[in-house]
Amino acid sequence: MYQESALRRVVALTVALLLFASQTMSSVSARTLTQSRNSAPLQLAQLSSEPPPDWPADIDIDPPVIDHEALGTGVPGQTQEFTAKVIDDRGLAHVLLFHRDSPGIQYQRTEMQQTNQSAEYTALVATALGQQKIEYYIEALDTGGNRVLKGFPFFPLVRQLESAPVSPAPEVASAPQSKFIYVLIGAAVVGLALALSGGGNESTDPQPGTVPLTINVRAP
């Protein structure tokens, strides 16, 4: 009788412990689920591409844009002109042209000048007779520190320099005065012949002991 009562107490205590453990586990699971739901928006906000709320609104992250049409050839010994259109939403610090005569040497730097407050920038580079090409690239830097290149130091743009073909000399046409000179010379010869043959006499008959001479003169 006593053993049955003790057994019932053990069973009742075991059931009570199981119920308490089940309630505790349910409470922990519910709390964990609530925390995970509350933290999900924060994680999504961290993965968003938008800048954080404390990011400065006036920061410049957009680089300049260079529009340049590369010319294929030029003439050695002549000054070469390089132009580019450069725009930026905030403002430009400088636009530079880096150029050299041949590979393996250091680039020279020339500042490109703005044309009439427009987006066009120009630089002039002198060349020597016999020079074969110009290797170059363009660099633009805005006021926010963003830098962009057109061409690269290790892969530059190239303008070949070729001598202009020599045109043949035009043929000189004979001047109209040359015909007049020939006519004068012919008239002088005729006059001289007449003088020698006695052409000043009124009679057209040949004088005794003389031989008539006839000269025909044609203009060339």
Tens of pLDDT, residue by residue over 130-183, are 999 999 999 999 999 999 999 999 999 999 999 877 666 666 555 555 565 665
pLDDT mean over 53-73: 86
Q: How far apart are CA 156 and CA 138, in angstroms?
A: 9
Q: How far is CA 169 from the centre of its chain?
A: 37
Least confident of 40-44, 56-60, 78-82: 40-44
Predicted TM-score (pTM) of this structure: 0.53
Q: With cut-offs at 50, 70 and 90, classify the pLDDT of residue 14.
A: confident
Q: Residue 216 gets which letter from DSSP?
A: -
Tens of pLDDT, residue by residue over 67-107, are 999 999 999 999 999 999 999 999 999 999 999 999 999 99
Nearest to 136 by CA among 92, 96, 93: 96
Tens of pLDDT, residue by residue over 185-212, are 766 666 666 666 665 454 455 555 555 5
String of DSSP letters for 124-151: EE---TT--EEEEEEEEEETTS-EEEES
Q: With cut-offs at 50, 70 and 90, classify the pLDDT of residue 42.
A: very low
> What's the confidence (pLDDT) of residue 109?
97
> What's the confidence (pLDDT) of residue 213?
56
Say whether pLDDT at 66 is over 70. yes
String of DSSP letters for 184-199: HHHHHHHHHHHHHTTT
More confident residue, 139 or 20: 139
| Residue 127 burial (CB count, 10 A) | 19
Residue 58 and residue 82 in contact, taking contact as beta carbons nearer than 8 Å: no
> What's the confidence (pLDDT) of residue 206?
54
Most confident of 59-63, 124-128, 195-199: 124-128
Q: Which residues contact 69 (CB under 8 A, 6 or more apart)?
A: 83
> What's the confidence (pLDDT) of residue 67?
97
> What's the confidence (pLDDT) of residue 43?
45
pLDDT mean over 64-68: 97
Q: How far apart are CA 43 and CA 40, in angstroms?
A: 5
Q: How far apart are CA 148 and CA 94, in angstroms?
A: 11
pLDDT mean over 110-139: 96
Nearest to 132 by CA among 70, 77, 71: 77
